[in-house]
Amino acid sequence: MIYGIGIDIVKIGRIRRASEKWGRKFLEKFLSQDEISYCSEKNDPYPSMAARFAAKEALIKAIGAKIIINMKDIEVVNDEAGRPLIRPGRRLEEYFREEKIRHCHLSLSHEKEFGVACVVLEK
């Protein structure tokens, strides 16, 4: 049974400009150290950063207004095959358990100007 669906789109240039202006301090507001390291290994890290920002916003939308989640409590990781997954932090993991959310499906993409993400929460 579907619990919630969320989608978000982010301009890559917005993430690039903010990062260039505010540096690592900006990135640390929404990305974990592992996420920053993963994206920084890319030739152009900003599309991956934008997609991860979009993933966190999409997850928050899928949850709805039922709980306030900090973006740092949501981590986007990749499995062995490269598939993106959500690794919930403590508070989000508790919420998933309380609401009996068993699966969090995530799809990411980026193209030219935009990063996009879709999240489906399943009970």
Tens digits of residue pLDDT in 33-92: 999 999 999 999 999 999 999 999 999 999 997 788 889 999 999 999 999 999 999 999
Q: Domain extents for the chain?
A: 2-122
| Continuous segment of H or E residues that includes residue 118 | strand 114-122
- Which pLDDT belongs to residue 67? 85
Q: State mean pLDDT over 100-107.
A: 97
What's the CA gap between 80 and 109, in Å, rounded?
A: 18
Cα diameter, the chain: 43
Assess if CATH 3.90.470.20 describes domain 2-122: yes
Whether the per-residue pLDDT at 112 is higher than 80: the answer is yes
- Which pLDDT belongs to residue 121? 98
- Model pTM above 0.85: yes
Dihedral angle computed from the Cα positions of residues 29, 33, 39 and 45, in that order, rounded to the nearest 10 degrees: 40
Supply 11's token pair. 């301009």
Looking up tokens 């929404």, which residue turns up?
30
